Amino acid sequence: MSAIELVSVLTELIFVLVFLLVAWSAVRRRTRTSVDIALFFGAIAAFIVESRVVTTLGLEQVELVNDVVTILVIAMPYLLLRLVDDFSTVPFIANRLAEAGLLFSAIAFLATVGQPPTSIVLVIVVYFAALATYCAVKFIRAARRSSGVTRRRLEAVAAATLLLGLTILVAGLSPVVPAAAGALDGLVQILALGSAIAYFVGFAPPPILRRAWQEPELRAFLRRAASLPRLPDTPSIVGALQDGAGSTLGARATIGLYDRETNKLRFQDPHGVLPNEIGPSEYLVWRAFETQGAAYYADAARANPGLAPAYRAHGVRSLLIAPISAATERLGALEAYTDHQPVFSEDDLDLVRLLADQAAVILESRSLIDEAARVRAHEQAARLKEDFISAAAHDLKTPLTTLVAQAQFLERRAVTEPSAPPDIAGIRRIVLEARRLSALVVELLDSARLEQGKLVGEREPVDLVELARDITGRETYQGRRITLSADAPVVGSYDPRRIEQALENLVENAVKYSPEASEVRIAIMKRDGLARIDVTDEGIGIPSADLAQIFERFHRGTNVDDRRFAGMGLGLFICKGIVEQHGGRISVDSRVGTGSTFHVVLPLGDTA
Amino acid sequence: MVDDDPSIVAVISDILAAEGHEVVAAENGQEALAKANGEALVLLDMRMPVLDGWGFARRFRASGKRSPIVVMTAAENASRWAAEIGADGYLAKPFEIDALIAAVERHATKPH
């Protein structure tokens, strides 16, 4: 047996094998596509077997068998076009041209009793080759649109189709150029072998190849999956899972999360074609969710005729569904669909199950993270409340200690030494500590009101510039250099008492935490329809570690000497509350040792 | 007497002076360690900047000083804090001046 013969036998064996495989799968699952594939390879196999049998046994050609096989061979390009139509859409005109070609070749063959003149043969060959090339291009386009295993398979089919076209073209040309017949015959055998192998890979890929194709996609998915639970919220995780599953399966993927309260699957379909929620219904996804079984439907509309219009309208043709569940809890379902069949196959069920399980792990760890965060937040809130109470108690008891002791001491002296001169220092101490206590009580009440959102009352037009001028002119700040820069009145609608309190707090802080000789600058301006207030000091500054919490209740800068700077750490908390309840924002820029600038932005409100 | 609140220091100094005691005041643990010189009693606030009551007590005892310590604190858990540092007694702020005087009489070491 020569090398050429060997190649030829091998090619034939592969084509027959492919036929057997696709025929078996068409028998197992009869869909238009599987039947089309089986017909196409059936035509090839019939031709091969017939010619093999005839040549090996040296039989006389049986007329009828010969004719049938010939028709089948002639029908091959047309069958190929039908196949393309299953994957993507073939224009009407192309279909009609192919049918015309089919008719023409059939008539030509039958009319000339299988011996058409060379010119006719040439026309038929060109028709074959052109159609094969057209189909190859269509397959390549379909491959471009998909990904993963599907893409590889469609690419293989495209290559095989192109090679088949070339095979036919070269085989058809060889009788025309008898001189090169030997070489061309060899070329035909090699092209045919290539085509056979590529079809085998495309239509009946062995599991090992399928797994090898899936692996990179799966690996990429798993790599991404590891970081998914850290995404900010569940919708973004679901989005990422959908993208990942979609590109792994080469389809559109969507995840429905089960909502126990409404007993519905909630979808967040990025393609916007599926219903947002699906409750107990005939939808295949609900069926899969309820039975907790993965399912594959080559044609969703046929599997569920009741909802066929819905599936057609949504562009759902082939469908893969796997339930997402963790241990005993049903979390939802993963659905992958395409508008053409048969992008998926039974074998993709394993993959979609794997993806669904992975999604379950991710969603489950996400909910654990959420749960842990909730518990932590709850604990922290409780701790803060406790801290607040004990800090408030401590701060209230300190002036009370002086008040009680001093008052008792004065009383005792008044009794034991009635003629002694009044203890002026002691009396002043009582006045001072009583004021301090009163200020603390007011602060505490403010912070309690703030929590209830009731800090800001009636609003009226307030000129912030005039207010600032009024504050800086007070006796307390005599001897301090406070400059106010403002070019025009800035009038907004505010609670006058509260806005004054906030501004005063900022000025007070600026003065309190900066050297006596340094300057405090206040700038007030109107910009972009907002009032902006900047209060800048050249004081001790705020350590960057404290910046994030400086507006929190009871937080005081770690560089603040409690003894020198009395306060409960409520001032900025209340200040922020006042600004925010006016619809504004407060922020701070600061450098230790250089100073701080507090920025307040307030809406002007309706001052009419 | 170690306390970071100047008003409390002033009033307690006045009260104890009227009782015939001499008072050395310090506004934190560090200053108190520097000033300590065999006093008959230490009145110790717990929450103070620079060096707090716990730090003061540890170093004070470590340096071999034996003066009794009475904790004065505005915190809820005055008795626990006193136990933590092995103090001889405690006064929960605000306290009656009789309680202050009694605590001093009871715990201060008597001159030999």
Query: Quick check: B97 and A408 CB within 8 A?
Result: yes
Tokens of A288: 């899969």
Domain boundaries, chain B: 6-107
- Residue B32 has a pLDDT of 93
Please write the tens of the pLDDT for every residue from A171-188.
877 777 777 777 888 888
Mean pLDDT of the region A101-111: 79
Measure the CA–CA gap between A170 and B67, rounded to whole angstroms. Answer: 114
The residue ranking higher by pLDDT, A85 or B54, is B54
Helices (H) then strands (E): counts for chain B: 5, 3
B20 at interface of A, judged by CB pairs closer than 8 A: no
Query: Quick check: A404 and B95 CB within 8 A?
Result: yes
Tokens of A301: 């509309």
Check if the beta carbon of residue A198 is closer than 8 Å to that of residue A211.
no
Place of tokens 């009038």: A491
CB pairs under 8 A between A and B: 71
B96 at interface of A, judged by CB pairs closer than 8 A: yes
- CATH classification code of A460-603: 3.30.565.10
Average pLDDT of chain A?
Answer: 83
Q: Record the pTM.
A: 0.50
- Is pLDDT at A563 greater than 50 in this prediction? no
- Is pLDDT at A223 greater than 70 in this prediction? yes
Query: Quick check: A405 and B76 CB within 8 A?
Result: no
Please write the tens of the pLDDT for every residue from B3-46.
999 999 999 999 999 999 999 999 999 999 999 888 999 999 99
* 3-state SS, residue A63: helix
Domain boundaries, chain A: 3-205, 212-372, 383-451, 460-603
H, E, C per residue of A224-272: HHHHHHHCCCHHHHHHHHHHHHHHHHCCEEEEEEEECCCCEEEECCCCC
Q: What is the ipTM of this complex?
A: 0.91
Check if the beta carbon of residue A437 is closer than 8 Å to that of residue A396.
yes
* 3-state SS, residue B64: coil
- CATH classification code of A383-451: 1.10.287.130
Q: Which residues contact B23 (CB under 8 A, 6 or more apart)?
A: B1, B12, B13, B16, B17
Tokens of B35: 């000033």
Give the closest residue to A255 by CA, choosing from A201, A324, A196, A308: A324
Q: Cβ contacts (< 8 Å) between B74 and chain A: which residues?
A: 393-395, 397-398, 401
Measure the CA–CA gap between A587 and A576, rounded to whole angstroms. Answer: 9
B74 at interface of A, judged by CB pairs closer than 8 A: yes
Tokens of A416: 């034991």
Class of domain A3-205: mainly alpha
Place A567 in a pLDDT band, splitting at 50, 70 and 90: low
- Is pLDDT at B88 greater than 60 in this prediction? yes
- The secondary structure of residue A90, as a DSSP letter, is P
Task: Work out the burial of residue A553: count CB atoms within 10 Å of its CB; fewer than 13 is exposed, 13-18 middle, 19 or more buried.
Answer: buried
Measure the CA–CA gap between A112 and A117, rounded to whole angstroms. Answer: 8
CATH 3.10.180.10 assigned to domain B6-107? The reply is no
Interface test with A, best of B14, B28, B100, B104 (most A CBs within 10 A): B14
Give the closest residue to A540 by CA, choosing from A561, A569, A571, A566: A561
Cα separations in angstroms, A196 against A7, A397, A568, B107: 11, 93, 85, 106
Give the closest residue to A42 by CA, choosing from A67, A86, A76: A76
- CATH classification code of A212-372: 3.30.450.40
Tokens of B67: 């003066």
- % chain A with pLDDT above 70: 91
**What CA dihedral angle connects A140, A143, A145 and A150, to 10 degrees?**
170
Check if the beta carbon of residue A402 is closer than 8 Å to that of residue B11.
yes
The most confident of the ranges A109-118, A206-215, A396-405, A508-517 is A396-405
Mean pLDDT of the region A22-33: 80
Check if the beta carbon of residue A38 is closer than 8 Å to that of residue A22.
yes
Check if the beta carbon of residue B53 is closer than 8 Å to that of residue B81.
yes
Please write the tens of the pLDDT for every residue from A117-147.
777 778 888 888 888 888 888 888 888 877 6
Measure the CA–CA gap between A402 and A406, rounded to whole angstroms. Answer: 6
